[in-house]
Amino acid sequence: MNGLPHAAPKATEAAAPEAAEAATAAPRRIAHANTRLHGDARGRDRVVLIGDAAHASSPMMGQGGGMAVEDAYVLADCLRSAHTVEAALDRYVTRRKPRVRWVQQESLAVSQIIGLPSEPRDAALRTRGKEMFRHRFQPLIASP
């Protein structure tokens, strides 16, 4: 390697010394959304993973970026309205878990459809493709 992995932290520190200092000096708490969405891990430090970093799924619905934006919105709302960080994170997980699970299941279903024999799959898509598309994506229109 050309040394870039070692140079990057130094470059970041030089560009934003106050951010680097804050990241190392402040007490830390982690809430790893992936494990929290699927289990009871409480995490440590001050990091909350969102989007694909927290709950990656098949790219078949193209929702990685959208889920990250939704996660950020819901997390901010939960932090704003909760009395403690722990309560906010619990509420965040409760709110996000069903939608994340749904997107993951739908993505998997789309990937399985692609694996079907082409003649019947293509015929179904020609005759009912728009209806199937609306049915699959309509729930994403609802507020997260």
Predicted pLDDT at 59: 82
pLDDT at 140: 82
Asked if 43 and 65 count as a contact pair (C-beta separation under 8 A), the reply is no
Give the chain's domain count. 1
52 neighbors 67 (Cβ within 8 angstroms): yes
pLDDT block averages, 10 residues each, the chain of length 144: 44 54 52 37 61 82 86 93 90 90 87 85 88 84 75
Is 83 within a domain? yes
How far is residue 87's CA from residue 6's CA, in Å, rounded to a whole number?
37
| Integer Cα distance of 36 and 43 in angstroms | 8
Boundaries of domain holding 65: 23-141
Prediction pTM value = 0.62
3-class secondary structure per residue, 63-111: CHHHHHHHHHHHHHHHHHHCCCHHHHHHHHHHHHHHHHHHHHHHHHHHH
Report pLDDT for 27.
Answer: 53
* pLDDT at residue 83 in the model: 94
Residue 107 located in a structural domain: yes
φ, ψ dihedrals at 47, nearest 5° = -120, 130
CATH label of the domain that carries residue 37? 3.50.50.60
- 41 assigned to some structural domain: yes
Which tokens in the block code for residue 32? 């790893």
Report pLDDT for 36.
Answer: 35
> Rounded to whole angstroms, how far apart are CA atoms 83 and 23?
24
Residue 97 maps to a domain: yes
Would residue 9 count as lying in a domain?
no
